[in-house]
Structure 1
Amino acid sequence: MNSTLLPTDIVGGTFWLLSMALIGASIFFLLERNRVDGRWHTTMTLLGVTMLISAIFYYYVQGMWVDTGKAPIVLRYLDWILTVSMQVVMFYVILTAVTKVSSALFWRLLIGALVMVIGGFLGAAGYMSATLGFIIGVVGWLYILGEIYMGEASRCNIESGNEATHMAFNGLRLILTIGWAIYPLGYFINNLGGGVDANSLNIIYNLTDFLNKIIFGFVVYRAAMNDTQARLDEIKKLEHHHHHH
């Protein structure tokens, strides 16, 4: 197998693109952490780390693709078990920055994420029937959606009354609904629907990760910056008020 990336190799190209973009995003979020209000520091750290884990994963799989001509879909569960969990927990972290949230929510979200990924993995890797794995994975995903559309997370978001948090929460929720739909879809096609060319699936997953990880990160970053600005304006207003009295 040719050990350099050929210009005609779209799969390898998308792996390479993602690993570079994710390293860039990781450095960006970690450095920008100091520009946002202290309440958002944990969120930004979590973002940077999520991007870094994925970047390392992509770099590794890209090397494997170049060396062997294969990039088994099942490897992605290594990335997902960490990054999906962290991204779901992000909802909790964003809310704790601005409002009171029960720690039970953290565990419910985390367990939902683990059920989603582990169910899919067991089915895809052949440890249980592909159908059962699919059902468990989808149940985990729907449970998370339930929490963030109708559960405590959704309530806390509304009650926080924080404009920036609403923006982040709603943006992330949209990505979890639309962007993450690719995972059960890809699983279904690959394991239940007669399969698809693994190359096509890799390209689709790689490009979807652009939305699900990098755009996801920028939605949070934007919100953190907006909230920081709003607090600064608030302080200025108070000072101004103070001077006049």
Structure 2
Amino acid sequence: MFANIFFDWLRNINAHLAIDEVYLHIKHQSAMQTILIDVLKIPVDDPIAFTFFTGYMAMAAAAVFFLFERGGVADKWKTSLLISGMITGIAAVHYYYMRNYYMETHTSPVALRYIDWTLTVPLMVVEFYLLVRAAGAKIGLLWKLVLAAVFMLVCGYIGEAFTDGSKSHSMIWGTLSTLGYLYILYSAWMGEIAQLAAKSESTAVQKGVRSLAWFILVGWAIYPIGYMAMPGGWLGADGLGLLRPHDLDLIYNLGDAVNKIGFGLVVYGIARSESAAKKVVPQGAGVLA
């Protein structure tokens, strides 16, 4: 009797496992078909759709790389690489949804993009704080950088999402947004960040801060060009006519790839350099005088 009950129980388990296996197989096939359909929907003459798709893949690959490489650096750099992985990982998720949004509507995913930036840009300025923390950076510096980044993004969102083609609206909010950017730029080149980096005993940290400062100066300057391509912008159809409204997404996508992945690679390079230096045994170490 008990043997029959036991074997019935085993048969039920096997049946459920078989059902789960079939379900997972169907789910996997469905996911692959969805990806294939998304790829097939990309027009060969649409560079914006192309950059959304490649942006998603590049961000995902970078996130995996940074997170896996945490194990190969000294403990004090693990948080920095974690932040780099979070920046690109969050961006990858948003690029997946932005890609789908654009493919369905062929309009700019303004809200999704600013949600992404509101999460990732403050994390990018956190990288500055982590680099100069050993040189005596206070928590107040971190809060000032984060607040400046959020202020910059909120003003930019108001200027871009709520415009009705008015040049004055986009100009006013774009100018306010620039104030937040200029504070971060000043801090990186001449303010607290630059001064703390100069005090650092690490040459790698000094070079790293200077490299990230160049990203702020040159890399982040890409975004205002995209901002001015929107309706009502100076470079758009209502202004100088140099850019089309859809060029905005192309410029933003390229800017994100350069800045988010580039930021992480600079931090990774510093971490590897510093970690390797720690492993080098000084000549004569261990020899008793």
Q: TM-score normalised to the size of structure 1?
A: 0.91
Separation in structure 1 between the aligned mates of residue 46 and residue 224 of structure 2, nearest angstrom? 26
Which residue, out of 189, 197, 209, partners 2:256? 209
Separation in structure 1 between the aligned mates of residue 145 and residue 92 of structure 2, nearest angstrom? 24
Contact 2:159–2:171 (8 Å) recurs in 1 = yes
2:277 matched residue in structure 1? 230
Q: Give the percent of matched residue pairs that are identical in Structure 1 and Structure 2.
A: 32
Q: How does 1:102-113 map to 2 (within 5 A)?
A: 102-113=138-149
Structure scoring higher RCO (CA < 8 A, sep ≥ 6) equals 1
1:119 matched residue in structure 2? 155
Which residue, out of 217, 241, 266, partners 1:177? 217
TM-aligned CA distance change 1:209 to 1:106, over 3 Å: same
Q: How does 1:57-96 map to 2 (within 5 A)?
A: 57-96=94-133
1:18 matched residue in structure 2? 55
Q: Greater share of helix residues, 1 or 2?
A: 1
Aligned CA-pair RMSD: 1.9
Separation in structure 2 between the aligned mates of residue 144 and residue 53 of structure 1, nearest angstrom? 22
Contact 1:80–1:117 (8 Å) recurs in 2 = yes
Give, in angstroms, the shift of residue 9 of structure 1: 2.6
Q: Within the alignment, does 1:48 sit opposite 2:85 as a pair?
A: yes
Stretches of structure 1 that go unaligned for 5 or more consecutive residues are none
Deviations 1:141-193 (A, max 9, x none): 00111111121111110101211111211111101110101222222332431
Larger Rg: 2
2:226 matched residue in structure 1? 186
Contact 2:226–2:249 (8 Å) recurs in 1 = no
Structure 2: which amino acid aligns with 1:163? Answer: T
Separation in structure 2 between the aligned mates of residue 137 and residue 106 of structure 1, nearest angstrom? 19
Contact 2:225–2:251 (8 Å) recurs in 1 = no
Contact 2:155–2:176 (8 Å) recurs in 1 = yes
Matched residues, number = 240
Stretches of structure 2 that go unaligned for 5 or more consecutive residues are 1-36, 237-242
Q: Which stretches of structure 1, 4 residues or longer, exceed 4 Å deviation after superposition?
A: none
Structure 2: which amino acid aligns with 1:216? Answer: F
Separation in structure 2 between the aligned mates of residue 130 and residue 70 of structure 1, nearest angstrom? 19
